[in-house]
Each structure stands twice: as C-alpha cells, then as structure tokens.
C-alpha cells in the first residue's frame, strides 16, 4: 500500500534505500564475472575483447535507462492514486516500447556493433573477440530492456526487496551459464556473451511471472483502446525523450572530461580514470536514496499528498546528505590507501594523490544533483530535468575551457564538481514551480492494495 505522510518515517526511507544500494552493487558483478573468466583464457586479446564489448553494452543500455526511470515515475504515481488499471497500462506501454527498441537493435546489430567497435579502436584480434562477445549478447537486447521496465515497476511499487532478489537471480544465472558455456562447452568469448544473454532472459521470465501474478485482476480489464490512448502515449514518449536527452548530455559531459584528461598525457588520463572509480562507488550509495525518492515522491504526487511530498523530499535529502558526508570523510581519511589498492605504480599513485582532495569534496558537491534527479523523475517533471542538464552541460563546457589552461587538471576537476553542484542548485530553484505545483490540493488518496 502507498505510504501517506503520517506513515513516512526515517526507518521507511532506509528500508527502501538500503536494498536499492545492494541491488545497485550487484550490477557490476556481471561484468566482474565476465572479466574474471576472460582473464583466465589463453591470451590478453580475450580479456580485451570482453572489455570492449562490455563497454559497448554499458553505453548502449545506459542510454536506454529512461525505460527504467520513466516507468518508476508513472507507476509510482498510479500506485499513489491506487489506480491499478493505470499502473498496468503504464507497464504494458513501457514493455511495448522496450521490445520495439530491442528489436530495432537486433535488426541493426551488425552495422551498429561494427561502427562502435571501430570507434573504440582496439587491436584487430581484440576487436574480433569483441565482435564474438557482442554477437552472443546482442540477442538478449529486448529482454535486457524489458528488465529495465520490470525494475522500474518494482521500484515504483516500493517492492525494493523483490528488486534486489531479481538482480541476485540474474547474477547467479550469469555465473552458472558463463562457467557452463566457456568451460563446459568451450565457446570462449562468444559463450561469455551468450551467458549474459541467458541471465537477462531468466530475469525477464521471473519478472514477467511476478508482474502477472501481482496484478492478476487488472490484465483482463485492459483494453486495446486504453493501451493506445494518445495522451498517455504522448506522455510516455515525452518523458522518455526528456530523460534520454538528459542522459545523452551527461554521457557527453563524461566523454568531454575524459577527452580533456587525455590531452594532458597518459599519466593524467590514467589518474583521472582511477579517481572516477571513487565517483562510481559514491553513486552506487547515493543513488539508493535517489531511487527511494523516485518512488516516494511519485506516490505522493499521485495521491495529491502535499505534506507527504515535502516529507519525502526532506527525509531523503537528509539521509542523502548524511551519506555524502560519510563518503567525504572516508575519501579524506582513506583516499591514499584506496588508490594503493587500485594501482601499484608509484608514478600513478603520486599523480592521483595530487587530485584526491577534489574527490573528498565530490560527494558534498554532487549529492543534491543525484537526489533531485530522483525527485524530478518521480514527479515526472522530466522536461525541467532535461533543460537543467543542458544548461549545466554548457556551463561545464565553458568552465573547463576557461580553467584548464589556468589550473591544469585541477581546473578540470573544479569545473566538473561545479557542473554537479550547479545541477543541484538549478533543480532546487526549479522545484517550487514544477514539483510542488503538481500537488496544490490534497484530495483523499485511494489506498487500494494494488
């Protein structure tokens, strides 16, 4: 049942956020398993091929992450209203969109894979192995995208423990399949890609069964006219388009950061790549509160619960800032030790150490941006989210071009942290005329058990 403002407590926020953090931490496990198995094949080209192929799918699927985020917001609002029919229809529309995109990827797989691997610039043998990996994994593209929708549905319905269980299932199946296909059937890198595809298929099957059983009464009542509702389809496409542009802008900013690091030499490039792991670890933790905010804010908006909306924002923001402070203290105290774990090269350690203070500041500078992303997605105010990202991306471009010649790599890190801080400030200023305007009144919420 959706939580009203009186039900929303610190314990409730933590009960939602912590399983999401654990679910997030399972996501790199598939890549880690693939890397470990490829690393024991005879020759470095196998590991290089898996690395290149994994990078292709990371960017490809991250670009379609709007399927998860858009679904969470729409489902959470229907959940808050207690409208099971609207909830089921939102999921079916999102699944249809995911399947359409996935089938398009299958049709375009050969030119797409060839183009991207060519741009990544690996050796001929590494590219050949990457092609084998991608050729096995690409067939699960529709299933992987449907899994995004299923995850969005689970988060929107606040079933975070089930989301964690589903992610664990996918990783367990991947581990068993990759060992069977590579060591049992001798399929090499192609078997690693196929195993990941099988794991995605298992996740889709389990998620589909769970989805069907959870809303068993709603499916017979769905009508084609409801699913084809023009206004609902326009809203779905609009939300997903806005999130896609926002994500593309974020990816472009990360690419620009890497490019400017590369212009300063291999040592600085490697140091920046190493330090970005600090940001990745931080994102896994703080995104748990952002995802919790998506579900809680969406539910409050759907229910017209203005006090609940404000309380959800306040509680999630408080815990997120607490988490950011903890990250900052850990990075400040243990940063050199963490760098030592990541590399044993003295020159790289020394170079990375010069820029570690920026990583201690990064959680504080970035936390509001992460949290407000979740708030705006939950409220489905994605146009404002897209506009803020475009403005901040242009600001990052200008700042980096101005500060790099003056301060070197310190200027690059300063401009990147300013980019994240500006995202948080911009969304904070936009919230009163977007997020809170959605719930000027507070009609009684229907608390049906959906």
SS (H, E, C) 103-168: HHHHHCHHHHHHHHHHHHCCCHHHHHHHHHHHHHHHHHHHHHHHHHHHHHHHHHCCCHHHHHHHHH
Higher pLDDT, 61 or 290: 290
> What's the mean pLDDT in 253-269?
83
Q: What's residue 6's pLDDT?
A: 52
Query: Bigger pLDDT: 3 or 116?
Result: 116
Look-up of token digits 């898996």 = 50
Residue 149: per-residue pLDDT = 95
Query: Is 422 domain-assigned?
Result: yes
Q: Provide the pLDDT for residue 258.
A: 82
Binned at pLDDT 50, 70 and 90, residue 225 comes out as low
Q: Give the tokens for residue 176.
A: 């068993």
Q: Does residue 174 sit in the same domain as residue 156? A: yes
pLDDT at 123 over 80: no
**Count of C-beta atoms within a 10 Å radius of residue 44:** 13
- 111 burial level (CB within 10 Å; 0-12, 13-18, 19+): exposed
Average pLDDT over residues 263-286: 83
Domain membership flag for residue 161? yes
Question: Which range of residues forms the domain containing residue 154?
Answer: 1-228
Residue 323: is its pLDDT beyond 60?
Answer: yes
Q: What pLDDT, on the 0 to 100 scale, is given for residue 446?
A: 38
Alpha-carbon gap, residue 166 to 207, rounded angstroms: 7
pLDDT score of 331:
93
Decide: 79 and 2 in contact? Cβ < 8 Å. Answer: yes
179 located within any domain: yes
Q: Which of 428, 441, 129, 401 is nearest to 306 (CA)?
A: 441
What pLDDT, on a 0 to 100 scale, did the predictor assign at position 218?
A: 77
* Count of domains forming the chain: 2
Whether residue 447 lies inside any domain: the answer is no
Residue 314 lies in a domain: yes
User: Tokens 């990544």 label which residue?
Assistant: 120
Looking at residue 32, its pLDDT comes to 67
270 with 167, same domain: the answer is no
Return the higher-pLDDT residue of 181 and 124.
181
**Structural domain ending residue among the three candidates 174, 194, 228:** 228
- Quote the CA–CA distance of 88 and 97 in Å, as a whole number: 14
- Residue 445's pLDDT band, with cuts at 50, 70 and 90, is very low
Q: How confident is the model at residue 379 (pLDDT cuts 50, 70, 90)?
A: very high
Output DSSP code: residue 440.
Answer: S
- Indicate the pLDDT class of residue 364, thresholds 50, 70 and 90: very high
Helix (H, G, I), strand (E, B) or coil at 174: helix
- Asked if the model's pLDDT at residue 85 lies above 80, the reply is yes
**CB-based contacts of 209: which residues, under 8 Å, 6+ apart?**
none
**Same domain membership, residue 239 and residue 203:** no
Q: Looking at the structure, do residues 260 and 142 belong to the same domain, yes or no?
A: no
Check pLDDT > 50 for residue 447: no
pLDDT tops 60 at residue 449: no
> Of 175, 200, 228, which residue sits at a domain end?
228
User: How much is the pLDDT for 442?
Assistant: 40
pLDDT, residue 70, reads 92
Residue 448 lies in a domain: no
Q: Do 77 and 116 have their domain in common? A: yes
Mean pLDDT of 23-45: 74
Mean pLDDT of the 146-158 span: 94
Using CA atoms in the order 446, 5, 150, 247, what is the torsion angle rounded to 10 degrees? Answer: 130
Based on the domain organization, do 224 and 254 belong to the same domain?
no
Within this chain, do residues 50 and 174 fall inside the same structural domain, yes or no?
A: yes
The larger pLDDT score, comparing residue 32 to residue 233, is at 233
Q: Which two tokens stand for residue 347?
A: 């020159």
Q: Per residue in 426-442, pLDDT tens? A: 999 999 888 887 665 44
Asked whether residue 29 falls in the same domain as residue 161, the answer is yes
| Pair 260, 148 in one domain | no
Whether the pLDDT of residue 266 is over 50: the answer is yes
Which is higher by pLDDT, 447 or 431? 431
239 and 377 housed in the same domain: yes
Q: For residue 75, give both structure tokens.
A: 């489902």
Q: Return the higher-pLDDT residue of 399 and 51.
A: 399
Mean predicted lDDT score pLDDT of the chain? 87
Helix segments in 263-355, DSSP class H: 266-303, 306-342, 346-354
Q: Is 450 domain-assigned?
A: no
Q: What is the pLDDT of residue 108?
A: 94
> What pLDDT, on the 0 to 100 scale, is given for residue 54?
81
User: Could you tell me if residue 446 is inside a domain?
Assistant: no
Q: Report the pLDDT value the prediction gives residue 278, as an integer from 0 to 100.
A: 85
The last residue of a domain, from among 182, 210, 228: 228
How many whole angstroms separate alpha carbon 349 and alpha carbon 338?
A: 10
User: In which residue are the tokens 């023009």 written?
Assistant: 230
In sign, the C-alpha dihedral spanning 122, 123, 129, 132 is positive
> And the tokens for 33?
């398993």
Q: Are residues 246 and 109 in the same domain?
A: no
Clarify whether residues 292 and 172 are in a common domain: no
């Amino acid at each position: 049942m959706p939580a009203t403002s009186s039900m929303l407590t610190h314990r409730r926020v933590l009960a939602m956020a912590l399983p999401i953090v654990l679910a997030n931490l399972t996501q790199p496990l598939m890549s880690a398993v693939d890397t470990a198995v490829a690393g024991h094949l005879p020759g470095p080209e196998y590991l290089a091929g898996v690395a290149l192929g994994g990078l292709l799918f990371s960017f490809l699927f991250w670009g379609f992450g709007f399927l998860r985020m858009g679904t969470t917001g729409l489902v959470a609002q229907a959940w808050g209203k207690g409208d099971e029919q609207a909830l089921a229809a939102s999921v079916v529309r999102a699944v249809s969109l995911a399947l359409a995109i996935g089938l398009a990827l299958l049709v375009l797989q050969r030119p797409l894979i060839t183009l991207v691997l060519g741009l990544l610039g690996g050796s001929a043998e590494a590219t050949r192995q990457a092609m084998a990996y991608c050729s096995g994994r690409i067939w699960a593209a529709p299933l992987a995208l449907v899994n995004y929708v299923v995850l969005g549905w689970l988060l929107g319905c606040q079933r975070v423990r089930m989301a964690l269980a589903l992610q664990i299932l996918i990783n367990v199946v991947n581990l068993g399949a990759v060992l069977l296909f590579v060591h049992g059937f001798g399929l090499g890198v192609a078997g690693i890609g196929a195993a990941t595809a099988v794991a995605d298929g298992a996740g889709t099957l389990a998620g589909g069964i769970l989805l069907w059983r959870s809303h068993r009464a709603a499916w017979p009542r769905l009508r084609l006219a409801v699913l084809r509702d023009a206004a609902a389809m326009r809203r779905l496409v609009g939300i997903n388009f806005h999130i896609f542009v926002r994500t593309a802008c974020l990816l472009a900013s990360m690419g620009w950061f890497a490019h400017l690091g590369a212009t300063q030499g291999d040592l600085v490039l490697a140091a920046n790549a190493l330090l970005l792991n600090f940001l990745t670890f931080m994102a896994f933790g703080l995104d748990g509160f952002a995802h919790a905010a998506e579900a809680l804010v969406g539910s409050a908006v759907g229910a017209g619960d203005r006090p609940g909306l404000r309380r959800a924002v306040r509680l999630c923001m408080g815990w997120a800032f607490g988490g950011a402070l903890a990250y900052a203290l850990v990075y400040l105290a243990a940063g050199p030790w963490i760098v030592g774990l990541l590399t044993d090269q003295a020159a790289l350690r020394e170079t990375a150490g010069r820029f570690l203070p920026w990583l201690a500041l990064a959680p504080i500078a970035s936390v509001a941006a992460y949290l407000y992303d979740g708030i705006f997605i939950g409220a489905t105010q994605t146009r404002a989210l897209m506009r803020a990202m475009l403005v901040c991306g242009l600001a990052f471009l200008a700042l980096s071009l101005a500060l790099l010649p003056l301060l070197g790599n310190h200027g690059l890190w300063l401009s990147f942290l300013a980019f994240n801080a500006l995202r948080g400030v911009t969304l904070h200023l936009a919230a009163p005329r977007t997020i809170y305007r959605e719930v000027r009144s507070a009609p009684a919420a229907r608390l049906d058990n959906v």
